[in-house]
């Protein structure tokens, strides 16, 4: 058998080449279907990016920095469902978008978090500095920790005075405590400044953190 004949026999076993896609001047639908035919597959309409997952956000900071104001505005701005816990003593209360109650034992909190995250809710834990330290031990890297501060120590003291809720002795303790708490900022993932009269800017910063965390390729694994 000649080499040309052998080559012809060999080539006869090759699959036929895919049909060329239509010319670019073709109808858009024809071009789309032609590309599918050329590739031998259909184009999926499924989203390319994975859907954002529910997250745990811990917001803390010294007394007087506006934690409640930031969280309230955040709930009004975000379309995501939010559920919030706070650890101050007081009667349990609820609002349209949040549930406020005292953080109880670890097992109770873990059940609460898992239940709401299974429903697609983001979890916001609003705690004092000591509470944030405890949560870091419990949650580790499962949560995002944000430290909220005033623009300066002077501004913070003026806010505390303006509240008119403490005596001078109590204010002295508050300020001394705040100075110590600021030193623990390094234990948090992010810091956000809530300057006087600039609540919207602080809320936008927190929203940016949430969006960035949800857009991560390697997301935090919630393990509680």
Is 163 a catalytic site residue? yes
Choosing from 163, 179, 184, 220, which is the catalytic residue?
A: 163
Choosing from 73, 83, 126, 174, which is the catalytic residue?
A: 174
Q: Of 118, 115, 147, whose CA–CA distance to 131 is shortest?
A: 147
Take residue 142 and report the two structure tokens written for it.
Answer: 């499962």
Choosing from 86, 114, 179, 220, which is the catalytic residue?
A: 86
Non-local (6+) Cβ contacts of 213 within 8 A are 55, 144, 219, 220
| Positions marked catalytic | 86, 163, 174
């Amino acid at each position: 058998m000649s080499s040309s004949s052998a080559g012809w026999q060999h080539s006869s076993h090759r699959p036929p080449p895919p049909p060329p896609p239509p010319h670019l001047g073709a109808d858009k639908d024809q071009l789309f279907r032609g590309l599918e035919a050329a590739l031998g597959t259909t184009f999926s309409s499924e989203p390319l990016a994975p859907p954002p997952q529910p997250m745990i956000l811990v917001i803390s900071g010294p007394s007087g920095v506006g934690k409640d104001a930031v969280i309230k505005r955040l709930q009004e701005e975000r379309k995501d469902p939010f559920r919030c816990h706070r650890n101050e003593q007081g009667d349990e209360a609820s609002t349209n978008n949040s549930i406020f109650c005292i953080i109880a034992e670890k097992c109770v909190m873990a059940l609460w978090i898992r239940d709401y995250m299974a429903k697609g809710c983001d979890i916001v834990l609003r705690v004092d500095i000591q509470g944030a330290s405890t949560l870091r031990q419990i949650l580790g890297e499962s949560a995002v920790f944000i430290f909220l501060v005033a623009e300066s120590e002077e501004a913070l003291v003026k806010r505390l005075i303006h509240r008119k809720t403490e005596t001078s002795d109590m204010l002295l303790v508050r300020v001394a405590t705040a100075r110590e708490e600021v030193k623990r900022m390094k234990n948090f993932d992010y810091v956000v400044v809530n300057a006087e009269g600039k609540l919207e800017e602080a809320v936008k910063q927190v929203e940016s953190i949430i969006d960035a965390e949800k857009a991560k390729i390697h997301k935090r694994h919630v393990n509680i």
